[in-house]
Structure 1
Amino acid sequence: MSRLAAVREATANAGLGALLLTPGPDLRYVTGYDALQLERLTCLVVPAAGEPFLVVPRLELPAAEQSPAARLGIEFVAWEETEDPYALVARRLGQVERVGVADRMWALQSLRFRAAMPGTEQVLAGSVLRELRMHKSPAEKAALAEAAAAIDSVHELIPQLLKPGRTEREVGRDIADAIIASGHARVDFVIVGSGPNGASPHHELSDRVIQPGEPVVIDIGGTMPSGYCSDSTRMYCVGEPPADFLAYYGVLKRAQEAAVAHVRPGVTCESVDAAAREVIAEAGYGEYFIHRTGHGIGLETHEEPYIVSGNTEPMQPGFAFSVEPGIYLPGRHGARIEDIVICGETAGERLNHTTRELVVV
């Protein structure tokens, strides 16, 4: 079954009259079209009964016709500057009780649809697409493996870039260049957390000068031309590491290994989180592990499934997600080890293969 046909079937099974997918990962997943997010409406309409069609501004029609969406055989409906595209969609759909709107649809577009279809309830399209997007196909697994190999190659360069006296921002700029040089189409994030900044999991680059003897968290990722994302964290130290850091780095490494080893079909997402958390808590660092163990990854860096307490979703073959426990000591330093893992038929498979040992430069 084609992806578009699977989406139509899922829409009908969910009791929705249609899905309305504006530019973003949902549209790209269904059609391959990486459309610009503009104030002018571009929207794939997937009726539960009837043929799908893509509404595009007239000036975006050439780009749409050159995109992978053109190979799907769907009708392109171009609208003129003086037309109301929301009314156009409402007329073509007719009266429907419920529609699914793209999770990343702008509020102004959702509200315009609500005005054009006042009797229609809106729900998130993610409720329909989540099962399809969580189960990665062989082609998607290959794309994620390519992304992982590319970001691994960047981590291999980090020891050449980390030097005492350089600022986080200077190092981050070089890393961003290396991410593009590795084959990524876009840099999504670069975290260089030196010394006490490493205790902030989502630290932004700063002008702080990296000092000798400081651990440095390097968390980096980007988007490949395929649309699939990379995300990997490794730990470095500029010179001799502090004794208190070494005391918990070994704990963190065991926790990450325990979580990956726990992955297999049938275990719950929260049990993978628990496998990492138990190791850290037993060593006395539980209060310093302040975030979930992981997140799904694909066309978005963060997507379902989330590896967190309370998520009782059973692991299934094809699930792709990060395993990234962390320990963060406020005002001192922190550490995180992150790999992308795919749940296979019997066990988890790491996609990242650079060393998880502390790299001293």
Structure 2
Amino acid sequence: MSTITASADPDLLRARLQRARHAAAAQGADALVIAPGSDLRYLIGGSGSSFERLTALAVPAGDGEAVLVVPKLEAPGYSGIPLDALGVRLATWVDGEDPYALVAGALGAPSVVAVGDMLPALHALPLRDALPGAAQVLAGPVLRELRMRKDAAEVEALRVAGAAIDRVHARIGEWLRAGRTEAEVGADIAAAIVAEGHAKVEFVIVGSGPNGASPHHGLSDRVITTGDVVVIDIGGSTAEGYNSDSTRVYAVGTPRDADVADTYAVLLAAQRASVEAVRPGVTAESIDAVGRQVIADAGFGEYFIHRTGHGIGLDVHEHPYIVAGNDLVLEPGMAFSVEPGIYLPDRWGARIEDIVVVTEDGVESVNNQPHELVVLPG
């Protein structure tokens, strides 16, 4: 059964649904069919779940009634959602009935249906059969236009999540020391992520020594030794569903590699320059270019092997992406990571990451732990 708790007030959710209708129409879609997940949570306050039984929110682009189609045995899990206040009708079905016909009946005879990006083929194909006259397109381009621009409540939720993960980084010295494995340190960090205010741990990366040169390393049984540089990238989601994501770099005793201080200074300058460049009216790709140029000018261009950042909100990774080729113009309310890195294969790596929000005249960082290399006792 789905257990769902509303995470936004009804007026806000009702306004989001209305904006979603208008956005769908503007992109030539007659209706939206939204699968369980972050898009559903954004629109009605709960993410739901869907396995072999269909759950879907059907929303006509015009003034027609929105319908939430749910297996009857899971309907009690939606009692926390103020569907009446949102103008959404609950339609239940039992095994042996056709849920796709319920969706089709709610939508009438659309020509174009925008289906949720996460709707599995298990459901997308039967839905296509139930609406043979409708072309299917992805709903992602519709909803990302809304979700990229965080409202005041969402920005505050990101601040809360950012402060919570900052508190975890402030405690790393309690667990990170020579003689422990990455996995042991990671387990302590995971417990602290929850203890410091998150509802769920989303990821923990502890990349020590040469493992730090792999941006998405994760955890291993490698024993941390004196002289290691350690990349710690951590994040979790709060009860409201909003995510944190922050990376800091630590050294266990004096770094064994003589080039750490100078190389880290380059990375620090690149991250600082990238954040300072964020403001309304500039493009996403221009932010990527700023820090990348600092790193390239210092001779490390080939060792910065990923984009500068990703959007964040109800998903850890969402639009906008801060990457070359993305000419999206930044607007107030857009939130994303700024996380340049330098990765020296088989030696060590470093990444500095903050979540920032575009303001009316500049940028706000929701992460405020020091950015300098933190040297812990060896």
Per the normalisation by structure 1, the TM-score is 0.98
Q: Paired residue for 1:33?
A: 46
8 A Cα contact 2:59 2:107, kept in partner: no
8 A Cα contact 1:33 1:69, kept in partner: no
What is the DSSP-based 3-state SS (H/G/I as helix, E as strand, rest coil) of the residue aligned with 1:59?
Answer: helix
2:252 matched to 1:238? Answer: yes
Task: For structure 2, list consecutive stretches of 5 or more residues without a partner in the other structure.
Answer: 1-13
RMSD: 1.1
Q: Paired residue for 2:327?
A: 312
Task: For structure 1, list consecutive stretches of 5 or more residues without a partner in the other structure.
Answer: none
After TM superposition, which residue ranges in structure 1, 4 or more long, deviate above 6 angstroms?
Answer: none
2:136 matched to 1:122? Answer: yes
Shift of residue 73, structure 1, vs aligned partner: 3.1
The percentage of counterpart residues that share the same residue type is 60
Map 1:134-153; keep pairs closer than 5 Å: 134-153=148-167
Deviation string 1:57-103 (CA, Å, 9 cap, x unpaired) is 10111111223545413110011111110122113322211111111
Q: Paired residue for 1:213?
A: 227
Map 1:83-232; keep pairs closer than 5 Å: 83-232=97-246
The amino acid that maps onto 1:245 is V
Deviation string 1:172-221 (CA, Å, 9 cap, x unpaired) is 01100001111111111000000000000000210000010000000000
Q: 2: distance between equivalents of 1:71 and 1:228?
A: 23
Q: 1: distance between equivalents of 2:46 and 2:87?
A: 13
8 A Cα contact 2:67 2:106, kept in partner: no
Using a 3 Å threshold, how does the CA distance of structure 1 residues 28 and 196 change in structure 2: closer, same or farther?
same
Deviation string 1:297-353 (CA, Å, 9 cap, x unpaired) is 000010000000000001111100000000000000000000000011111111100
Using a 3 Å threshold, how does the CA distance of structure 1 residues 70 and 164 change in structure 2: closer, same or farther?
farther
Q: 2: distance between equivalents of 1:290 and 1:92?
A: 47
The amino acid that maps onto 1:247 is D
Aligned residues: 361
Q: 2: distance between equivalents of 1:240 and 1:28?
A: 46
2:341 matched to 1:341? Answer: no
Deviation string 1:140-187 (CA, Å, 9 cap, x unpaired) is 000000000000000011011001010000000110000111111111
2:2 matched to 1:2? Answer: no
Q: 1: distance between equivalents of 2:40 and 2:121?
A: 17
Q: 2: distance between equivalents of 1:18 and 1:298?
A: 24
The amino acid that maps onto 1:333 is W
Using a 3 Å threshold, how does the CA distance of structure 1 residues 91 and 67 change in structure 2: closer, same or farther?
closer
What is the DSSP-based 3-state SS (H/G/I as helix, E as strand, rest coil) of the residue aligned with 1:243?
Answer: coil
The amino acid that maps onto 2:307 is R
